[in-house]
Amino acid sequence: MTVNHGVLGSSPRRGAREKRSKTYVLFLFLFKLLDKKAISYYLCNFKMKVSGFSFVRNAIKFDYPVIEAISSILPICDEFILVLGNSEDDTENLIKSINSDKLKIVHSIWDENLKTGGKILAQQTNIALNSISKDSTWAFYIQADEVIHEKYLPTILDSMKKWEKNKEVEGLLFNYLHFYGSYNFVGSSRKWYRKEIRVIRPNIGVYSYRDAQGFRIENRKLNVKEVDAFVYHYGWVKSPYKQQLKQKYFNSLWHDDNWIEKNIPNKEEFDYSNIDSLEYFEGEHPKVIKEKIEQKNWKFDFDIKKKNFSLKDRILNFIEKRFNYRIGEYKNYKILK
């Protein structure tokens, strides 16, 4: 028996088309009804937002690669908050040379009463952290002498996306390379910290801890996931003259004048030869710092076979190299499995 669908009822295909048509008309109605700005704001709230943050003071005087630091992570940031301390040089115009709409400068006056124990560094970090947008998903912290290689940006971004919805993950943990004396050598002893948190989940009570090396929440360690990326730390690479200036001032943030007088040599240039162990750096530096490397105007060389270790340090160093385990390592974080 032949059934005439045109008489007895609508075909399944026709019914589906009518349903889609009604849905489309409803969507157009709602789109016209709602303010376009409101729709844009609604959609933006479903997009992962990354805020970079840092602080600096006297970047020129102490030769901080702060332009390189900011520029290295700016491509994956929606905004960057830079707290600019009262400087004796032209740091502000140096920062403004970045010329990016993402960059926001917050001015601050350093409280000299907070210099003991490096507390001022944490305070300045917290000013920056508290100034980022309230709707940020992640906050990317980078210090004025740290740079991220561009090859790691996709990996970092992937990690942010991977753990975005997992609220148990409060931060991301990075590996470190500490350059020393020149851009050709990296520290290879126990005196250099191997990992630290550089991405945190904001607006959940996280704050900079002690001297701003790491973070905490409610006085406990953050739960973190490791990222397969390195922070390139260039704080120990500058001319011997600039390094000596920095050492005198930087140590004053932890110690009183008597300690400085006893422990910091009163001379014009820093002696880079007083180091326990170095290795050659065989990789490539980030593109953003290559111009600065070309401007290097001092010489430093080191025999990497030379190891200035005590017997205790030799044993501990052997264990670390052999088993990739550092006895007594300070870990201001809890790695989630």
| Residue 208, domain member (yes or no) | yes
Instruction: Assess if residue 306 is contained within a domain.
Output: yes
> In which region does residue 177 sit, left (phi positive, over 0), alpha (psi from -120 to 50) or beta (all else)?
beta
pLDDT digits (tens, 9 = 90+) for 162-204: 999 999 999 999 999 999 999 999 999 999 999 999 999 999 9
Mean pLDDT, residues 194-217: 96
Let me know: does 49 contact 137? Beta carbons within 8 Å. Answer: yes
The predicted structure's pLDDT at residue 5: 41
Q: For residue 129, tell me if it sits in a domain.
A: yes
Task: Note the pLDDT of residue 199.
Answer: 98
User: Which residues are CB-neighbours of 184 under 8 A, at least 6 positions away?
Assistant: 280, 281
234: nearest Cα among 175, 299, 285: 285
Query: pLDDT-based confidence at 261, cuts 50/70/90?
Result: confident
pLDDT digits (tens, 9 = 90+) for 18-60: 555 555 555 455 555 444 444 444 444 458 999 999 999 999 9
Q: What is the mean pLDDT of the chain?
A: 89
Question: What's the confidence (pLDDT) of residue 319?
Answer: 95
d(Cα 316, Cα 325) in Å, to the nearest integer?
A: 9
Place 265 in a pLDDT band, splitting at 50, 70 and 90: confident
d(CA 256, CA 252): 6
Give the torsion sign (CA, 126, 157, 221, 144): negative
Question: What per-residue confidence (pLDDT) applies to 141?
Answer: 98
Contact in structure between 105 and 54 (CB atoms under 8 Å): no
pLDDT at 17: 56
Residue 94 CB coordination number (10 Å): 17
Q: Is residue 71 one of the residues assigned to a domain?
A: yes
Instruction: Give the pLDDT score at 4.
Output: 44
Q: Is 305 domain-assigned? A: yes
pLDDT reported for residue 260? 87
Indicate whether 243 belongs to any domain: yes
> Stretch 77-106: mean pLDDT, rounded?
97
More confident residue, 151 or 7: 151
CATH label of the domain that carries residue 161: 3.90.550
**Residue 39 in domain:** no
pLDDT of residue 254: 87
pLDDT at 115: 76
Residue 81: give the domain boundaries.
50-322+332-337
Q: What are phi and psi of 240, to 5 degrees?
A: -55, -35
| 257: in domain | yes
Phi and psi of 152, rounded to 5°?
-90, -10
Cα separation, 213 vs 90, whole angstroms: 26
Domains contained in the chain, number: 1
pLDDT value, residue 32: 52
Q: How much is the average pLDDT of 91-99? A: 96
pTM reported for the whole predicted model: 0.85
297-310 pLDDT, tens digit each: 999 999 999 999 99
The Cα 133–Cα 139 span in angstroms is 10
Categorize the per-residue pLDDT at 11 as very low, low, confident or very high, splitting at 50, 70 and 90: low
